[in-house]
Structure 1
Amino acid sequence: MAASTPPRPHRHEPPGPRTPIDQLLSELASRVDEIVIDRERLRALLDAVISIGSDLELAAILDRIVAAACKLVGARYGAMGVLDGAGGLADFRTQGLTREEIEALGDPPTGRGILGHIIDHPEPLRLIDLSAHPASVGFPPGHPPMRTFLGVPVTVGDKAWGNLYLTDKHGGELFTEDDEAIIQALAAAAGVAIDNARLYTELAASQAERERLVVFRDRDRIGRDLHDLVIQRLFATGLQLQSIVHLVDESEAATRINTAVDEIDGAIADLRAAIFSLHTDADQAFSATVKGLCGVVRHHLGFAPRVEFQGPVDDAVPELVRIEVLAMLREALSNTARHAKATRVTVVTAVDRATLVMTVTDDGCGIPPQAPRRGLANLASRAASLGGAFTIAGAEPTGTELRWTIPLGGEPSREH
């Protein structure tokens, strides 16, 4: 008699992180033990579980679940109803209906009839004839006829999250106990996949919020440094220069000192506007940001610009266009404050479906022909980078009108 082979020692593998697929397969294994299933259907179920676990986008997962359920039991039609927490449906994903049929049906179901029955009684339901059930309320006009039915709840954790609905098994056959069991196994794995997708979405949102906070902290630090170090030094330098003007006998030297003081004041105004931009929340309404920027230059102008809006300013302007337009407005207002000697400034922002037009009008001395054009050239370059145009015109009776016209919907180039 041959000696028996001693049992192999059991290997204890160190625990490691479980991937979403590991979790799905673990849930599937616990359910498969409860049903009798042939090898072909087991492979189909395994493929379905792997398929729904290969995506982390919730809508795509729901569509995969419905498609897999229809394939596993040979159903012509399938749907996933997502509960809204108030006894109805928040979302309804379908399989088997054509686009024309979906459009003809109009609004998706809200959770009445058989659908509402499973919401109220979250347990599997198999029917030979939908219309014979006491909870049936019939079909709306244009709905394809359906007879046999299989419904299974989907739970996430220990909470009902939605329901799988399957109708019209191919060949006119009835849904069987095995069909019910295999869809229950799929629903269990689907609950894990849905939970993973929701967790992934929450983590992604949390990470985005952390990154946003880091950006705002950096902006705050830069803004404080600019204000506490740069602006204060410039202001002190300007005061020192003003204090020695009366000591200078040469009129030309005194003029140059006063010009330098004006330039320092202009630099301070630019820095204050830049600090305001650093502290502007990207989610703030565009109109509020424009008003805030105009308020920043009030100190340097000696008065508040008049601000007007026309059209859907807060809704129609893409973020990248906002950034460039605000930079142009900041530079235009800074130039006006330094050179125009104006007593009135008006900023008008007008938006229609295709175009943004912003004008800055003042009643100042106008732009001398010999004035440097570097700032104006920069405004023209920024407008061109957005596919738009910048124009300069005289205002009546005196003053200047700066206007830039920007098409909406296009992507700005990176060249300035």
Structure 2
Amino acid sequence: MADTPNHPHSGDASARRMPIDELLAELGSRVDEIVLDRERLRALLDAVISIGSDLELAAILDRIVAAACTLVDARYGALGVLDGEGGLADFRTQGLSEAEIIALGDPPTGRGILGHIIDVPDPLRLDDLSRHPASVGFPPGHPPMRTFLGVPVMVGEKAWGNLYLTDKRGGGRFTDDDEDIIKALAAAAGVAIDNARLYGELADSQADRERLLIFRDRDRIGRDLHDLVIQRLFATGLQLQSVVHLVDAPEAAERINTAVDEIDGAISDLRAAIFSLHTGAEQQLSVTVKGLAGVVRGQLGFMPHVRFEGPVDSAVPEAVRIEVLAMLREALSNAARHAGARHVSVTVAVAEGRLAVTVADDGGGIPAAAPRRGLANLAARAEVLGGEFTIGAVEPTGTELHWSIPL
């Protein structure tokens, strides 16, 4: 880590553990406790990077809810902020339309199932909301909801709020893995919230302005500590490689080697994510996209062709930019690992109040039996932004991924 500038407040500032350190440590401990497939682990890392990339509390809360819905395929999500008196001081939602929010009137105050989790701050998973003893039904105009997953968000040792997820897409129920991944997200969210609160306190204090600058600088440096996660993955790969020679069955050895390759891919993805999601907000989007293409060049074996149309650098809000970079990173990484392409092009265009992003390759296309979780994740990201995601074919072979997102 770079040396901290000498400053009269630097000793005081260094007395605090940087929240990003705590976030990574907490995430690492939670990941050790659960078994996640590679796509869900990568989605969790993306979510943690996303919520940790902002210091504004309101934006962080909205990102937490959106990330939670994406991770467990929930149609609706909410984050209730406790008021310290047994009720809710704030209630952020995901999945409801503006018309539905207006029709519902005042936000919930903490009765029924919501009140139960406030009183008993433990994870709660239900196949049918209406059958729980604490259920009080829905107000008029409320969309129907059945399956439910609730997890407390702790800041330090105190319950700060609760994450609520309802209506698992596809009609299924929330699983043990869903609960584990939301608990891991909630742990990281607690650290991000504490980070934002600290930032707000410093921002409100004129006397601590210089101390705030040091804090923000350390936060940027702290983002590089995602390499701790990379080192964990790298060590796991080495451990797997060290036992290959002990396995007699060729099929088992092949599976171990495949797992090592997948870990290598995850490491490359994470490095690209660190670059794309943690570049400064002041950096132009076009510059960041070109830099991301340069990072993926090592995986592809060639430089993707990148083209821009319209006011890309001035018209795309930061929240949309972060999601677009995450989608581009995943699309380019997938092309590098699976397409076998010799040419990849990226087009980013802004026109008539919409952002259009296209990634095309001349590879072998998407096999019918290929896992679709990554593509579903790309579609979910676009849906969160109110946009659309389509998959097309490129003649004679190849694939075209296209996003259209309102600005």
Q: TM-score, normalised by structure 2?
A: 0.47
Specify the structure having the higher radius of gyration (Cα): 1
Which has the higher relative contact order, 1 or 2, with Cα contacts under 8 A spaced 6 or more apart? 2
